[in-house]
Amino acid sequence: MTNTLHRFGDVESFRDDYVIFAIPSRGKNDKGSVPKLRQFLEMALPYHPVNLGDALHGGALRPSREMRPTAHWNRDMTPDFRAVIAGVDAPTTVAAVFDNRPAAEDFLKAVKTADLGMCVNISTSIDGAEQCCHAADQPRHSVGYSLGFEGKTEKLPNTQVLMLSTMCGHGMIGFSLAKKMIDWVKEGRRTPEQAVTYMARFCSCGVYNPSRAKRILEDARHRMR
């Protein structure tokens, strides 16, 4: 089970969302795991990930200590994958995020061949994960299901807000921020690319998927026409 288990959406909404984790086990194989974790992230680069994550330091887009409002809106929007890899300095959970199944499958094959000796999790739809395992000739060990929301669900935000916000499993992207980004894109005040980077910076472990978020924002903009 991972913090990405509760990403909101139907099966089709995960067609461009594949998160692959490497996780050492405390007291079992965490000693000497830092080079292996860096290797895992380095191995992902040839397959063109849309994000890399380190649970201790964040993803390829990170917040700034600069407090001036204008600094936030005018920052470089280029993901810094090298900073993520270089920043891994202790046993942690690392992740590579892909926006297409062939890339995820090929990366999983490479990970299996490398045999790094760590637990590897795939977070996507059940069918997508099964196909990745099949492509890598790797039997699935187990599966985790999210039971969804219970209670007064009528008080929840709309589907698009939920999909954007729950991509950060630690709850660092608030419903209000997600709604604001949707409204700004609809109003032409920000492009989907800009809105996505604003949200992705708040994801503390770097598993936010910019490609999926951009698609959701584009869908929201077109639905108003």
Going from the first residue of the chain to its last (225 residues), give the mean pLDDT of each consecutive group of 10, the final group possibly shorter.
82 95 93 96 98 95 80 80 97 97 97 94 93 93 86 92 93 94 94 93 93 95 70
Does a structural domain hold residue 210? yes
Does a structural domain hold residue 5? no
Residues spanned by the domain of 126: 11-143+152-223
Rounded Cα distance between 2 and 114, Å, is 23
Rounded Cα distance between 53 and 110, Å, is 18
Does a structural domain hold residue 4? no
| Distance from the first to the final alpha carbon of the chain | 39
Provide the whole-model pTM: 0.93
Tally of domains in the chain: 1
Does a structural domain hold residue 101? yes
Does a structural domain hold residue 62? yes
Cα 207–chain centre separation: 2
For 38-153, list the strands marked E by DSSP.
51-54, 58-59, 94-98, 119-123
Does a structural domain hold residue 6? no
Does a structural domain hold residue 171? yes
Does a structural domain hold residue 44? yes
Query: Which residue carries 């509760």 as its tokens?
Result: 6
